[in-house]
Amino acid sequence: MEGFAGFGTVINVAGIIIGGFIGLLTGRMLTKKLQETLLMSCAVSVIFLGIAGTLSNMLKINSDGSIETNGTMILIISLTIGGLIGEIIDIDGHMEQFGKWLRAKTGNDSDSKFIEGFVTASLTICIGAMAIIGAIEDRLLGDFTILYAKSVLDLIIIVVLTASLGKGCIFSAISVGIFQGTITFFAGFIQPFMTDIALKNLSFVGSTLIFCVGINLMFGSKIRVANLLPAIVIASMWTN
């Protein structure tokens, strides 16, 4: 299927919006107890997605059956430096303020879960190699395959999140549009730096942040995941 540069992101945004409305309709038919169970199910799924992605990059099975651990220093240094940069910039605070602005502008001031839904959904579907590589291939190769696959995954995730956290999750479509759209626009500049090592490290640390998102879903917002986002950039710059 042919399209213009950025078409994959448009499809992705549409998938999120569709998933959000399905989630709203589904959520209205569920009791509070069922919504809480659904949220916990989503939290567990996100936690194990994060664990699987992290361990797949961190553990290596040798020919003799022994297990070797790799990437410990990348993880520690990336999260430490990235967290320091994120705290200075206060990405989490800016996302929350943007969430408050959206809540006010959309007439949802009475929705106590709006900001939590917006921030949680945005972090869940923006973090990861699929968003970055998909956006680059969208622009440079005209190949939307990765973003098509991501659109389906995001639709399912947003259905579940919206059913339990409400309409704030739908507005994560804005975050995805801005994030992937920016990458698509600057694809020519970014692409040379996205080597196999950079992608592996990005996936490694990105999966760890996805795990943190799952922890917040399970136990409440205790980790300022947004302030750890620069860790992905630090990891991508790691060359060995």
Number of neighbouring beta carbons within 10 Å of residue 108: 18
Q: In the prediction, which pLDDT does 168 show? A: 92
Percentage above 70 pLDDT, the chain:
97
Q: Dump pLDDT digits (tens) for 35-66.
A: 788 778 878 888 888 898 888 888 888 777 77
Give the HSE-up count for residue 100: Cα atoms under 13 Å, Cβ half-sphere.
6
Structure tokens at 146: 């990765």
Q: Dump pLDDT digits (tens) for 135-178.
A: 887 887 777 888 888 888 889 889 888 988 889 999 999 999 99
3-state SS assignment for residue 216: helix
Give the HSE-up count for residue 210: Cα atoms under 13 Å, Cβ half-sphere.
26
Give the C-alpha distances (Å, rounded to integers) separating 71 from 53, 195, 234.
13, 17, 13
**pLDDT band for position 16 (50/70/90)?**
very high
Q: Dump pLDDT digits (tens) for 23-36.
A: 988 888 878 788 78
DSSP 8-class letter at 128: S
Number of neighbouring beta carbons within 10 Å of residue 240: 6
**Spans of all domains in the chain:** 7-60+70-236
Answer for the pair 222, 43: CB distance below 8 angstroms, yes or no.
Answer: no
